[in-house]
């Protein structure tokens, strides 16, 4: 892991991690007088800092070894920790392919990391030839690839991702928040082959647990060790760990809801395609549709007036609106409202 170690910030390598009371004793039964907890109540104990039960369930379903899994307080925590492990503020750089998920930019800003934003081509695919000269830049430490991409909705081409993996020696983070809605396999199969690869997924979308704030990363055990070293000790609450475990134990419910969302997406596509104000529906491998309209600001506000909130992406992709696939009644209300606006 020498090559990865060279990418880690000096202060992180030298850091002595906080050792929580619960870390040192991992048994279940005992008289716990070690953490200044209150002896009364049913939420009085600190949660498992390493989320062992959750990781065991996740490992079985995702077919990734436990020591290659990190659990974060949402994927947003994982993104921030990646900056803090690998990028020295004011010195190092990261790369994104725009337009993409807004948190990479915010997190880069918070960590004082310059972001090289490489525009996607007109088909929303990466222009890897244009990034090739940057890949040798010693200050470029982290590349974010969001696939399926938000807000464009498409998977990024496999051969382009492979090109980056084969030509970049820094960290490649593939954000797969929407992978379960797509027909594609996860890149997690490649973590053994590429020790610099981090896969990011979340319970917020296909698992229906946005409220619980649980994200997870798959990577080499060395990178997972680095995440564990710098995370806040009890970063995922016991309530949230339990809700994720329950979801994993009810895979039938997951599959049922996933199928319903995918059917509703097809219904929504068909209905939208019949409306004159919808000029284009972009192909989507996710649970949302990016559509082009004549006047996105106007339609956005007309929908708000009718109590329907979509995401106006006009400032990012001209006259585009991003619509999350809702349940049948929500989708019907959207279509009814759009018909009124004409």
Ligand X SMILES: *Cc1c(COP(=O)(O)O)cnc(C)c1O
CB of 150 vs ligand X, minimal distance in Å: 4
CB of 4 vs ligand X, minimal distance in Å: 23
Give the span between the Cα atoms of 300 and 284, in whole angstroms: 20
CB of 203 vs ligand X, minimal distance in Å: 7
Beta bridge partners, 324, equal 288
Give the span between the Cα atoms of 222 and 236, in whole angstroms: 21
Tokens of 46: 């600190």
Nearer to ligand X among residue 137 and residue 257 (C-beta): 257
Please name the residue that has the structure tokens 């979308």. Answer: 205
Give the span between the Cα atoms of 145 and 161, in whole angstroms: 8
Nearer to ligand X among residue 9 and residue 205 (C-beta): 205
Closest residue by beta carbon to ligand X = 74
Tokens of 92: 């190092």
Tokens of 205: 């979308």
Nearer to ligand X among residue 22 and residue 182 (C-beta): 182
**Interaction site with ligand X (CB under 6 A):** 74-76, 101, 146, 150, 175, 177, 202, 204-205, 210, 215
Looking at residue 148, the DSSP 8-state letter turns out to be S
Give the span between the Cα atoms of 51 and 134, in whole angstroms: 38
CB of 194 vs ligand X, minimal distance in Å: 20
Nearer to ligand X among residue 107 and residue 319 (C-beta): 107
Residue 226: half-sphere exposure toward Cβ, Cα within 13 Å: 30
CB of 74 vs ligand X, minimal distance in Å: 3
Nearer to ligand X among residue 4 and residue 81 (C-beta): 81
Nearer to ligand X among residue 201 and residue 331 (C-beta): 201
Is 237 exposed, middle or buried (CB count within 10 Å of its CB: 0-12, 13-18, 19+)?
middle
CB of 255 vs ligand X, minimal distance in Å: 20
């Amino acid at each position: 892991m020498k090559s990865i170690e060279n990418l880690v910030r000096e202060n992180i390598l030298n850091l002595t991690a906080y050792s929580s009371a619960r870390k040192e004793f991992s048994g279940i039964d005992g008289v716990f007088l070690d953490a200044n907890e209150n002896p009364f109540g049913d939420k009085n104990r600190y949660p498992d800092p390493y989320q062992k039960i959750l990781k065991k369930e996740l490992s079985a379903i995702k077919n990734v070894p436990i020591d290659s899994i990190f659990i974060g307080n949402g994927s947003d925590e994982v993104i921030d920790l990646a900056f803090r492990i690998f990028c020295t503020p004011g010195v190092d750089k990261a790369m994104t392919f725009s337009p993409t998920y807004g948190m990479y930019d915010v997190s880069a800003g918070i960590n004082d990391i310059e972001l090289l934003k490489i525009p996607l081509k007109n088909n929303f695919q990466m222009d890897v030839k244009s990034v090739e000269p940057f890949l040798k830049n010693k200050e470029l430490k982290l590349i974010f690839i969001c696939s399926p991409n938000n807000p464009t909705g498409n998977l990024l081409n496999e051969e382009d991702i492979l090109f980056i993996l084969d030509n970049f020696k820094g960290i490649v983070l593939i954000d797969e928040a929407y992978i379960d809605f797509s027909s594609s396999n996860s890149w997690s199969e490649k973590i053994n082959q590429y020790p610099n690869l981090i896969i990011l997924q979340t319970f917020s979308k296909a698992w229906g647990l946005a409220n619980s704030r649980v994200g997870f990363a798959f990577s080499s055990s060395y990178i997972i060790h680095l995440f564990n070293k710098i995370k806040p000790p009890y970063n995922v609450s016991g309530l949230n760990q339990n809700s994720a475990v329950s979801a994993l134990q009810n895979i039938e419910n997951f599959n049922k809801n996933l199928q319903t969302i995918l059917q509703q997406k097809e219904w929504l596509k068909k209905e939208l395609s019949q409306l004159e104000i919808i000029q284009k529906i972009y192909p989507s491998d996710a649970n949302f549709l990016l559509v082009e309209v004549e006047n996105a600001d106007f339609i956005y506000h007309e929908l708000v007036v009718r109590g329907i909130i979509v995401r106006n992406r006009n400032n990012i992709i001209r006259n585009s609106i991003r619509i999350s696939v809702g349940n049948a009644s929500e989708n019907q209300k959207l279509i009814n409202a759009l018909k009124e606006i004409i």
